[in-house]
Structure 1
């Protein structure tokens, strides 16, 4: 390019160059401001993840203090401590590089605020990490080594499925005119402003902390992967005698029985046999023989994760020779709003001649799917007397009766995402939850409750609460204000679901438990 000789043209060209430089400087300032914002955001995220990781290590420490837990926790605790050390060392290593970069570029304008004096400097990154010191190659080697050590902590290699999920990755750099060999250091650090390189270092630290959290979670899972996790429970009431005379004392043992639906028990007994085992429950039956009190004894065995445990059981029943009887097939009471199945019989009479009635009540009785079986619908609480009739040549005759209590269906439990009470949910999961469910667990009848209304209150950190907002129906989307608030929720916010109403098949409206959700 020739230099013009006329002073006027030289002045025009210089003004053009100055204008172009000023325009480029404005763009650079916007970019640098963006890097400052990103770096501060990553810094806050790193503090949050570090706290969560610290909480997990604290749980490891607590588990080590429990004698019964220590043998299975200790091997994974040692690995976790190695992972923590490697992570802390690499975090500190990258932090030292950030300090060197800032010092090389001219130091801090305001160290407390994280403001770099010459954040646009291009030489510090190039000199320290690419050309002179070649620190970028060492950083890459340390990151790759750390990644391999994390996978080795779980006995995995770089071809495993988990390796693809680890946040910390060393991406290949595509060759270019300025970097024909596609060198990683040059691709990431050559001619990069100091603030951009510091931000990239913060991003690596964030990936390290997230990868550390993922490995710790996996170690936690391994501690309990052989444990038997019970996922169902039911109420068990066992009377000491199943047949008594008027005036005798009735005694029973009542408890909650937990079981695992995917682990079927092995049952042996002196009488009868098990017809099937499914969903973690064994079904026993026998043909009544002889008369008087019959005692059934046996054992229940289950695999407890590498070893088998057995427990004895015992129950009794009375075999009679005459009279009529009625058996409530599901529970020892009638429930309002559901068909209560019963079985009746009368010694000396054909099943075709047996009938059931509940006089002086509004009960509706319908025949079941076999002789002697009935379904009873009751509308009011209290007590009713069920009467067994036999059709004889002389007419209908009462051959037995039984007084039965009538109760309301138990209250269900309000749940969000299958959880109840004070719970924590990640923001991304909360945003896809449809609404509130009313679940009735450990109840023999198939009963469905529907949430009819609730009050919604949203509380942000250091903000006034939003609500309570009255919502009809179970869905969050049925109220736009509620849906909008949930769509913007973030960690630390709280949601209060109160005054939850639900209606069941008995027609009664129940007020359910409060749910408090902390967004994580």
Structure 2
């Protein structure tokens, strides 16, 4: 286009053509910059999602370690180290990214992130690396080395770590060796380098995910080996009456119905009652006393017989004639309170007991009840149950009903006569308590009367002295005895019939 003679019109056309090409190049550059920006946003979102999944995996491993320390404890120690190294390296990269975009107001204006100056100056000084550049390389190498040392050099992740966090020299398209840092970060637009660092953060998160999943998966695979199975005897109940049959199951730890044993030995004899991978126990209970259930379950694995032992015991007890009923606190129950009552019958589950009461309202279940007595003088607990033999047992237990004993007024948790300064009494709340009572009661003071020698009695509502009470108190002298009496209070919502007074001897 530049050769030969051209008319002014042709020269203008050629110039416009060149400008058009330049504009296309500029637009393409902006599109590429935006593409890098969009990729960086997607990677950032993915890192957030992966972090949440990793945290769930770490929490899952921590739970397993607390439940099975011997099995998962060492894995948790490894995972904790990897989590620490990953968090430190991730934060370091985030700090660099923050510095890179510190001077950019709109963090989403990717087309403005076309400069190369920041990392060119931050990592490089002429043909050499800056202190920050060398530190960056050390951080990458350090993370790879630290994680490898946790897992072991022979780990399946050694090659993965080397590929993801490799800082060896690269070879360009011309076959020339170029330093890794220079090849990856020198002369690139800011948004491209930003995306590159976000991708490295993604590699960190994905490495964590891969490793923790492998740690858990490896133990799961190991737990599926037959050598790790344990026979479990699951009886229908723990104690049996003489003449009853012992019923229950012997199962493997995984309760896998597809794993049918080849042979079972129960108490030194072959046993054939096997259904859905479970050995069904059905035999006479025997005489009163303790009896063992033990044997082996045999499976064939890789052509070899693997025997899984099991062992348990049960007790045979005489049939009871009465229920066992006991008050958790004492032999009496108190009016107005929820008194805890335990009800049990040997050989009968709590769910099969029928419990009722007279003289008060009964609540609760499964062996643990509460009775709130009414106006009667006696409360009766009635218990009925049908034994497995078909026999019905009925029993009852009577309890005396008593009022809550008188409470004692108190100041600063002191009862009787309390010595204290006038100013202390003016600001101290009036309370009440039952120091030797078996229940932990929440006693609320509603009102009280205060008597100062030579002054009129003042009625106070609440727990603290009113203005009128403080006025008469101000006229008291050192050595005077201030009486707090006629205290009205309630315990757990029940109005106390009597609260003993408390006296205060003024010390000034």
TM-score range, shorter chain: 0.3 to 0.5
Whose radius of gyration is greater, 1 or 2? 2
User: TM-score, normalised to structure 1's length?
Assistant: 0.43
